[in-house]
Chains A and B, each alone.
Chain A
């Protein structure tokens, strides 16, 4: 069974500093996709970044980058220059292989950005 692990329940970071959110995954399939979502207190899920298992380069989207270490099965999200608006829950997810297109989510972690 697919599994996503986020071990950090919460983190605090100072505004303008960089922060890394950890995510490890477990799958025996060579083809998979990894996602990061942000969920502010309002509840909506905001797509941040995607990494495909065959992608040669780490994904980047503005201030978000993904530190993809395939051999370690880790897909850590790096947020550069944190902003107060980055305070939210962050979820790592994996698309199940096999065509179902289902996403399996980790438990999430709460990021708090301090001024």
Chain B
């Protein structure tokens, strides 16, 4: 299965600042997704990262707050902009592609704390 490197693994940020999270995959994948997991909650899809075009955002998430880039089939970034304490969550990237059979592989996650 694909191996994902997600960075940073954790960070503590000041409110009002932005943080960019990177997701690097060791093979080309067709689909890349970004999820948010608020404390004690389940995973909620933020957006689907599309290669070479704008990401597809889910209801409740907007590009100005969570800009996403996907310049190629192995790399994507998620930026959490103008952060507030409510943005404190685990952010996970996930991929699906040829050779992954049924499963979706997840990155190890980024634990973000906004103070």
Interface set of A (CB-CB < 8 Å, partner B)? 33, 35, 37, 42-45, 47, 50, 52, 91, 100-108
Contact = CB atoms under 8 A, between A and B. Distances in A.
A102 B103 contact: no
B103 A50 contact: yes
Interface of B: 31, 33, 41-45, 48, 90, 92, 94, 96, 101-109, 111
Main secondary structure of the interface of B (DSSP, over half): strand
22 contacts: A35-B104, A37-B106, A43-B109, A44-B108, A44-B109, A45-B94, A45-B106, A45-B109, A47-B104, A47-B105, A91-B42, A100-B48, A101-B31, A101-B96, A102-B33, A102-B45, A102-B48, A103-B33, A103-B43, A104-B45, A107-B41, A107-B42
A38 to B, nearest CB: 11
A43 B90 contact: yes
Contacts of B41: 107
Contacts of B108: 42-44
A53 to B, nearest CB: 12
Given A101-B31, A102-B45, A105-B42, A47 B96 contact: no
Q: Would you list the 10 A-B pairs with minimal beta carbon distance, nearest first?
A: A50-B102, A45-B106, A47-B103, A43-B109, A105-B43, A105-B42, A44-B108, A101-B31, A107-B42, A108-B42
A102 B103 CA distance: 12
Nearest to B92: A45
Given A47-B103, A101-B96, A106 B42 contact: yes
A35 B111 contact: no
A40 B90 CA distance: 13
Contacts of B106: 37, 44-45, 47
